[in-house]
Amino acid sequence: MPEFALLAEEGCVPLDVLAFIAAAVNLQMRRDVAPVWGDDVWTCVALDSLAGVNPTETRKILTFKKKLHLTGALGFHTQTSGGVDYAEVLPPAARPAGEAIDGTTTSHEVIETFGDPTCNAYVRGPSGRRLARELCDPVEADAYPISVRIGPETRQVMVSNFVFPSWFHGGPGPHDYLKRLDFPEELTAGGYFEYLDENDHSQQIFADARGRQAWLAKMTNPTTRVQARVRHALEGAPPG
């Protein structure tokens, strides 16, 4: 089973917060994402360290770090020769007790990796564009709360909105989980999407300056999904 392991370097995310994020993402995958997309459920576990853990091909490790190797990007991916995928993300902003935990970056990473683990899948949309199969980018700035109980404690965790298959293929809506989109290939404020043009060049559509900023932030880092797509496009476009 494809699985994400969440880690926090140097305690940059409290362990209870890490556990709540993992629980919320698990619930989102099981309840909201998998039924719509009809694929295997991805799971997420929170770990306090990697001591004694044998990474396997089915475990991806997402580490929260106070500072990434390259600033600007919220998260990035790299791959070891052993087949284990690593990602690093900045920690969510600390919230006072009683306020929702920000799990959006984790949710975004898990959903998009679930949607396209190798960052090279494209779908020909109603417009004829070959759309990158990224499930959260078009609604990048939208989030919703999930209430999670672990033992005696209940916390709210914000998770990322995501698009439905009809966003790529056309047909009746809804086109995203929060029902904010009226049409396929539409964007909400702060969103963007990528596609391949007729010359197999990677192109982007932005909802607004915020969406462009989000994309640019990822482009500053050579190991983001955005950059992986550009690399794959340069290496040879997949059939669409």
Partner 1 sequence: MVTTILALAWLSCAHTLPPEKPLGPPLPFTAGAYDCAAPATWKTGSFAALVPAVQRALANDDSQGALTVLLSSHYAEEVTCVTGYVHDESVQQQATATDKDLAARRVAATSAWIEQQSARGLTVSNYAAEAH
CB of 52 to partner 1, least distance (A): 4
**Closer residue to partner 1, CB minimum distance, 19 or 205:** 19
Closest distance to partner 1 from the beta carbon of 60 (Å) = 12
Contact residues for partner 1, defined by CB under 8 A: 1-3, 5-6, 14-16, 18-20, 22-24, 26-27, 30, 34, 40-41, 43, 45-56, 58-59, 61, 69-70, 78, 80, 86, 146-155, 222
Q: Which is nearer to partner 1, 52 or 236 (CB)?
A: 52
140 near 211, Cβ under 8 Å?
A: yes
Cβ-based neighbours of 157, under 8 Å, separated by 6 or more: 20, 21, 23, 24, 100, 101, 102, 103, 145, 146, 147, 148
For 92-130, give one letter per residue: b (16+ CB within 10 A) or e: beeeeeeebbbbbbbbbbbbbbbbbeebbbbbebeeebb
Residue number with CB closer to partner 1 (2 or 165): 2
Cβ–Cβ under 8 Å, residues 221 and 228: no
Nearer to partner 1, 161 or 221 (CB): 221
State the nearest-atom distance from the C-beta of 192 to partner 1, in Å.
Answer: 25
Residue type, 140: E
